[in-house]
Amino acid sequence: MSYSRVVGAVEIGTSKVAVLLGEIVGESGLNIIGHSACSSKGIKKGVITDLNVASDCVHAAILAAEKNAQTRIDEVYLAQTGSHLIGNFNVGTTNVSSPDGIIRSIDIESAKADAKRRKLPQSRTYIHHIQNPFSVDDRQVENPLSKEGRRLQVGYWSVHGDSDIVSDSLRVIRGIDLDVSDMIISSIASGAVLLQESEKENGALVIDMGGGTTDYVLYRKGYIVKTGVVPVGGDHITNDLSIGLRVGRKSAEDFKVKNGRAYYSSEDREEKVWMIGDLTIGDREYPMAAITKIIEARVSEVFDIIKLQLEEAELLEPSEIASGIVLTGGGARLNGIDEAAKRSIGLEARVSEGSTDVAEELRQPEYSTVLGLLHYALTGQEESAKTAKPSGLFRRIGSLLNLD
């Protein structure tokens, strides 16, 4: 019998907690054996605001998934999001040590260490160091080992988060006696399953609009060159509608789901929609234009912020992002979201249909992050077996897990 372990992929999202159980068999087999999702409590904008309440609902979701799969989880892969996540691009440089100019592994290690040398204040914790290409004397190379040159450089996109917020999420998992093997930021997890290798090569921007945050990851030439979190999500659309239309949260949510569109169109001026719509006494009509104008303002702002961040990093060149924008997360269900993204960012956009490798019910945009976590639980293993594949290096931060 081959070795197998059960991995729980957990995303503590603003609107729901999603858990996916995968059985990893041997080195490359993955069976999805259980899943559950339940409404979140005690979480706003991707950050736990009430530890007890949040713990209860995460534990309930984990237990439900275990029951669904009729097995116990061995280890947890946890998604991270929230505006506390900040990324920097750091370049490590080393002079080739051997007199003959042949690069040895010690030089590679030294360049990598140099890139990661930047110390963070106590309150911040690294979550990822994502490796970008090496270059030898300013020429890009895939694998510098045994190449000849004088100066070796390597870039890393490093993401760090607020230590307290990160440890709160780890505490929640430890509260049910499980260990977190790795943390992966939501955007990277989603991107991993939604993009084909060829799309990563051509360049693609994955935007995952959740309940409280919008996470994005930009791939260029197969590498993750930037990630980001805009602390605005579907909850903001609902809140804007609630304030703008002066209706309760529930009605605002209904308007968003039933009538919402991500952009305003001149036909909306004539159209009216009922709040309840079943001839209930007290029901009233609202102008469609009010709904779409409120949503358009919010959605375009989110895309404008992403655009600005990419422009500031000088990464927004349409020719380098030929596969365009791929939208996922609950926000991707909003009618016209692709058109709105295209108008704001100026790249072709499509709504992801989900990974075709999984069952129909798991293709919903809400599951893409947890699927990505399982993907990493599987490939992380492969990567350590093979020699340094450049697409990602996800190392857990030991000190963080030894919290009391």
Burial degree of 120 (CB within 10 A; 0-12, 13-18, 19+) = middle
Considering the complex, what minimum distance in angstroms separates the CB of residue 195 from another protein? 27
Q: 124-183: which residues touch another protein (CB under 8 A)? A: 162, 164-165, 167-168
Tell me which residue of 399, 393, 385 sits closest to 156, measured CA to CA.
Answer: 393
Residues constituting the chain:
404
DSSP three-state, residue 136: strand
Q: 39-68: which residues touch another protein (CB under 8 A)? A: 42, 44-45, 47-53
For the range 48-56, what are the long-range contacts, defined as Cβ-Cβ under 8 Å and sequence gap of 24 or more?
Answer: 48/12, 48/165, 48/168, 48/169, 48/172, 51/168, 51/171, 51/172, 54/12, 54/172, 55/171, 55/172, 55/175, 55/176
Tell me which residue of 231, 86, 50, 230 sits closest to 162, measured CA to CA.
Answer: 86
Q: Is 251 in the site for another protein (CB under 8 A)?
A: no
DSSP three-state, residue 130: strand
Per CB under 8 A, which region of 99-107, 226-234, 325-333, 348-356 contacts another protein?
226-234
Q: 285-324: which residues touch another protein (CB under 8 A)? A: 286-287, 289-290, 293-294, 297-298, 301, 305
Considering the complex, what minimum distance in angstroms separates the CB of residue 237 from another protein? 9
Q: Is 339 in the site for another protein (CB under 8 A)?
A: no
Per CB under 8 A, which region of 87-95, 130-138, 227-235, 337-345 contacts another protein?
227-235
- Which of 67, 139, 150, 246 is in the footprint of another protein by CB under 8 A? 246
- Sign for the pseudo-dihedral over CA of 190, 87, 126, 12: negative
Considering the complex, what minimum distance in angstroms separates the CB of residue 59 from another protein? 16
Q: Is 248 in the site for another protein (CB under 8 A)?
A: yes
Kind and range of the H or E element at 349?
A: strand 349-351
Tell me which residue of 275, 261, 269 sits closest to 287, measured CA to CA.
Answer: 269
Per CB under 8 A, which region of 12-20, 225-233, 374-382, 392-400 contacts another protein?
225-233
Helices (H), 25-162: 51-69, 105-115
Per CB under 8 A, which region of 63-71, 74-82, 217-225, 239-247 contacts another protein?
239-247
- Which of 180, 232, 334, 370 is in the footprint of another protein by CB under 8 A? 232
The residues that touch another protein, with contacts defined as CB under 8 A, are 42, 44-45, 47-53, 83, 162, 164-165, 167-168, 230-232, 235-236, 238-240, 242-246, 248-249, 286-287, 289-290, 293-294, 297-298, 301, 305
